[in-house]
Amino acid sequence: MSLSFNPETLPLPIGHFIGGKLIEAYDGLDMHRPSDGAAHAQCPVADTERVNHAVENAKAALKSSNWGGVRPRERTKSLQAWADLIEAEAGTLAKIEALSSTRPVGQLVAGDIAVTAEQIRFFAEFADKEGSNVVPTDDQTFGMTISEPYGVVGAITPWNFPISMAGWKLGPALAAGNAVVIKPSEMTPFSTVYMAQLAVRAGIPAGLINVVLGDGPTTGNALTGHADIARVSFTGSTRAGSAIMENIARTGVKPMTLELGGKSPQLVFADADLNKAAAAIASSVTFNAGQACVAGTRLIVEKSVADELIAAIIAQMQTARPGPTWDAATQYSPIISERQRSRIASIVEAAKAAGGECLTGGYAMEGAGYFYAPTLISGATQDNPAIIEEIFGPVLTVQTFEGEEEALALSAHPVYGLASGLFTSDLSRTLRFARALEAGTVWVNRYSRSRDHILPTGGYKRSGIGKDLGREAYETNRKSKSVLISL
């Protein structure tokens, strides 16, 4: 069955989702479909009162369901049922997501949604396996650490992978025994609402997942500053991450996980498999049109193989077929908004003014929607805007090096340290660089995640604090109490 659909007739769950009920609301911020620019809905904006209402419901649901205190396997089973229903309803969920986001419907079911269901199951399995510990003491005392859920977690997600990001936040928080109030991006809110509806249908107690829609300054601020939000989990830009830290510092103290921006390098040595490197590098900047936090947008290649590699990358960059996100055959995504496309264009112009040259692309694509051509810029020095700025679009820069020292120096970014790629067949060099690269993730001879969800993800420097995925994401949703008993 084709997943292609008519964007004019798709029903959407428009409203906040609180206490297990959709609170319909249709007025708010204008939403435009990235694929054709058409205004298609408004995103309601939850004010402080609405956020308070959501937090109250989360607290009440925690109490009435005893979610944090039931046999942990009950949480596992409920989350597994939710993952099953997400898979069963993947077609509908994919369409809701594709309509307002940059994710092509044909990539969502087997990609984002299947992986999200698997990650929810992965986190569900921690519930009855990780816990409290007895610690070594002398025989006159008994010491232990008791692990407990926080209570109500506040989560905020970006627009670039809305379903995946909701799964990263909700899965570990719920498995660990918490309730969540989540605010998706105002540009792509409805797939998160649908996921929450599925959770209730799957038997997760109503009120454990509440979705408040709105923007950062109104809804996001009310959520992160709420006295009963015990911890905050955020994914988005470094700028918004700073604003959230400031708001939390002003309104109280609470732990937070911040998954922020990146400007990740990919280093290619002459001894690498260049075909493999070209495919990985091209797809890391064309996948979702480069709108990924980990996009490997700075190619740093050994001079002797630069021409050969650049030609192979340009050929690969041009293969992804653009089209509307509701066409199942589409491979190449639009940019999320006209504003963001103009920003990409202006950084490319500034890069050229500072000495860069476009070897391919460098223009907005003609026709409907906010498409921008895959772009490769050479001749940029370390202070060029295309090297410094997180462009969040399909723009790759290329710089050349001679020797490991120069490669490492070029790879360092003054602000970001999210991910990095290394292509080489030299084992010793691999291990030297795995240590030396200043990034939360180092991919070697590949540039993508696998489905090994045990590997955490998170940034060095101003790319973030804390981790999503892995054991860390579960543990960070529990707090630890030390108990010491004199016998």
* Known active-site residue 293: yes
Nearest residue to 441 (alpha-carbon basis) of 427, 424, 422: 422
Q: Are 119 and 453 in contact (CB under 8 A)?
A: yes
Residues 334-393 that bind ligand NAD (CB under 6 A): 390, 392
* Cβ at position 480, least distance to ligand NAD in Å: 25
**Angstrom distances, CA of residue 199 to CA of 38, 40, 71, 254, 353:** 31, 26, 19, 27, 51
Which string of x and - marks every residue 215-244 that binds ligand NAD (by CB under 6 A)?
A: xxx--xx--x----------xxx--x--xx
**Angstrom distances, CA of residue 88 to CA of 83, 165, 202, 250, 301:** 9, 19, 11, 44, 44
Q: Which two tokens stand for residue 311?
A: 């030609």
* Known active-site residue 130: no
The yes or no reply on residue 459 touching ligand NAD (CB under 6 A) is yes
DSSP string, 1-19: ------TTS-----EEEET
Q: Given candidates 229, 248, 278, 293, which one binds ligand NAD under the rule CB under 6 A?
A: 293
Residues whose CB is less than 8 angstroms from the CB of residue 251 and which lie 6 or more positions away in sequence, other chains included: 224, 225, 227
The yes or no reply on residue 160 touching ligand NAD (CB under 6 A) is yes
**Cα separation, 281 vs 447, whole angstroms:** 7
The yes or no reply on residue 464 touching ligand NAD (CB under 6 A) is yes
For ligand NAD, which is the closer residue by CB, 226 or 478? Answer: 226
Residues 3-42 that bind ligand NAD (CB under 6 A): none
Give the three-state DSSP class for 133: strand
Q: Given candidates 65, 185, 191, 325, which one binds ligand NAD under the rule CB under 6 A?
A: 185
* Cβ at position 50, least distance to ligand NAD in Å: 15
**Cα separation, 222 vs 138, whole angstroms:** 48
The yes or no reply on residue 259 touching ligand NAD (CB under 6 A) is yes
Q: Given candidates 89, 97, 112, 186, which one binds ligand NAD under the rule CB under 6 A?
A: 186
Tell me, by CB under 6 A, how many residues bind ligand NAD: 31
For ligand NAD, which is the closer residue by CB, 78 or 397? Answer: 397
Q: Which two tokens stand for residue 163?
A: 């379903």
**Cα separation, 443 vs 4, whole angstroms:** 34
Catalytically annotated residue among 43, 89, 97, 293 = 293
The yes or no reply on residue 182 touching ligand NAD (CB under 6 A) is no
Positions touching ligand NAD (CB under 6 A) are 156-160, 183, 185-186, 215-217, 220-221, 224, 235-237, 240, 243-244, 259-262, 293, 390, 392, 418, 457, 459, 464
